[in-house]
Amino acid sequence: MKTPPSIADALLCPSRRVFLAGAGAFVAWANLPRPAYAAPGREPRFIAVILRGAMDGLAVVPPIGDKDYAGLRGDLAIGAVGQEPALPLDGFFGLNSAMPGFHALYQKGEALIVHASATPYRDRSHFDGQDVLESGLGGPGLAPSGWLNRAAASIPAGEGVRPVSGLAASPTIPLILRGDAPTLSWTPPRLETASADTLKRLLDLYTHEAPEMARVLGEGVDLDALAAGIDVNAGGGLAASFKSLAQGSARLLAEDGGPRLAALSYDGWDTHTAEDGRLDNVLGALDGALQSLATELAPVWQDTVIAVMTEFGRTARANGNEGTDHGTATVAFLLGGAVKGGRVIADWPGLAETDLYEDRDLKPTTDLRAVLKGVLRDHLGIAGSDLSTKVFPDSIGVMPMDGLVA
């Protein structure tokens, strides 16, 4: 009986294209070089975490030192009557109390915050905003590929010692990772996991009756084995779902032969109504997921950068439903052992009535592409010219932010 190929075989076969039985996702592995600038034994990891739904940056990182903040936000102001006080950051900004894990990383110098940041997009459509966030271009519908895939293709050639690729932690490959560079897609199974005996019998059956299905099933089982050690069927609702995706993805990234770039997505940030409770729930789930990434990536944490971003922010004022509507500027997070953290970076525009963007939103003062360019240049070694012409086309005027990576 011919043994179905393992995922290790798939990693070493640049022409192989398979569908994983468990997730129904497309996989294309190829050998990419280790970055030419990387020191011996160093293989940097980069993870993009997309928060879909537009996160309220003024609630997550409140500018408690701004004299106009409390009056503008009213009952939604962090520290108002009935609200938990913010966790201290730098004296001017605080952190929502639902994120104690991130706060601990900040205090260790392994996390930073960029406030009043935004993509070039200035309308307020989720669909178009996420398209711009993932494509890296100046407007929606301008490219069929994503900036993280183009970044993978732009890593300078070095010693081709191990297969390197991107990981899309979703049932289908999102725009941010679409393109010519190889990508693996994986999601934790949501149905009851089949027993080892059942899987063995299925493999035996398929090997005799449908060899192609045997190959597909074998590779799917091997991939799930790499992400093993998580209880994907455990209860716990939103927090458990966020955590399982982070744990499994981190295990794949930590593997010697695994991917080095990843994109994870978390929904639930569209807080039009009853923002307080809803935001606390998703922030707590996100905080747990980020802690899981740090734990599972511990062996390679010093070579890891995680960028957390959302398509746009929310209105500075509350609406009539104790929520906030679609806005403009928001916050982005960087965390990881390679991050020069312990600070909030902000060209603060102020929250006076005359300072608001279109009389309703936090004004954007930092282009998110500047943050990403700085990380991709200093962490992955991508040349500035490639960042402005290939990774983020037509962004020649957006300079990479310096000093983000230790």
Higher-confidence residue of 295 and 160: namely: 295
Fold type of domain 31-188+227-391: Alkaline Phosphatase, subunit A (3.40.720)
Structure tokens at 141: 């519908």
| pLDDT at site 209 | 59
Residue 172 pLDDT: 81
Per-residue pLDDT tens digits for 310-327: 999 999 999 999 999 999
Q: Is the pLDDT of residue 391 over 70?
A: yes
Query: What distance in Å separates the CA atoms of residue 393 and residue 373, rounded to the nearest whole number?
Result: 12
Mean pLDDT of 20-37: 34
DSSP strand pairing (183-185 vs 25-28): antiparallel
At residue 19, the pLDDT reads 24
pLDDT at 29: 29
Beta carbons of 27 and 18 less than 8 angstroms apart = yes
Question: What pLDDT is recorded for position 207?
Answer: 61
Give the pLDDT of residue 299.
95
What is the value of pTM for the model shown? 0.82
pLDDT confidence of 30, banded at 50, 70, 90?
Answer: very low
Pair of tokens at residue 286: 């996100």
Q: What is the pLDDT of residue 168?
A: 82
pLDDT recorded at residue 16: 25
Question: Model confidence at 206, in pLDDT bands (50, 70, 90)?
Answer: low
Residue 267: how many other CB atoms lie within 10 Å: 13
Q: What pLDDT does residue 326 have?
A: 98
pLDDT the model gives residue 170: 78
Residue 84 pLDDT: 84
Predicted confidence (pLDDT) at residue 285 exceeds the cutoff of 70? yes
Of the pLDDT bands very low, low, confident and very high (cuts 50, 70, 90), residue 173 is confident
> What pLDDT is attached to residue 15?
27
Average model confidence (pLDDT) across the chain: 82
Identify the pLDDT of residue 26: 24
The packing angle between helices 211-226 and 237-254, to 10°, is 100
* Domain residue limits, the chain: 31-188+227-391
CA 161 and chain centroid, separation: 26
Give yes or no for residue 399 having a pLDDT over 80: yes
274-284 tens-digit pLDDT: 998 899 999 99
